[in-house]
Amino acid sequence: MTGTVWIHQFDREENVDDGSAAALYFGKETVEYYALDNNLKVLRLIEKLQYRVVGQKLSIGIKEGVLGDNYLTFKNERYYRSDKKITDMLTPQNSK
């Protein structure tokens, strides 16, 4: 999981005001949750939490999700594994 980026693109029905997608970036022990724009560039860091994977169960903070080969389901949202690097998604103002 370390170093991987997983992306969820919001549908219009989800009525999300802050960005058009979300990304989860997994570090060694923490996951960073980002709001993304239409071009899949980082708008802002929403939060950073501890995570743990046991089998196909993913725990982030106190919530649990399911991990598949190239997808994960968390908080009723489906995220797909991306080949993007988080550094490619940062814009100059949020890469400091």
Q: Give the 3-state secondary structure of residue 94.
A: helix
Give CA–CA dist 78/3, Å, rounded.
19
Q: Is residue 96 part of a domain?
A: no
Q: Is residue 24 part of a domain?
A: yes
Question: Could you read off the pLDDT of 24-67 as tens digits, one per residue?
Answer: 999 999 999 999 998 999 999 999 999 999 999 999 999 999 99
For 26, 62, 92, 94, the CA distances from 51, given in Å and listed in that order, are: 8, 9, 28, 23
Q: Per the structure, how many domains does the chain have?
A: 1
Question: Which of 23, 28, 20, 22 lies closest to 3 in space, CA to CA?
Answer: 28
What CATH number did the domain enclosing 16 receive? 2.40.128
Question: Could you read off the pLDDT of 56-83 as tens digits, one per residue?
Answer: 999 999 999 999 989 999 888 899 999 9
Q: Is residue 43 part of a domain?
A: yes
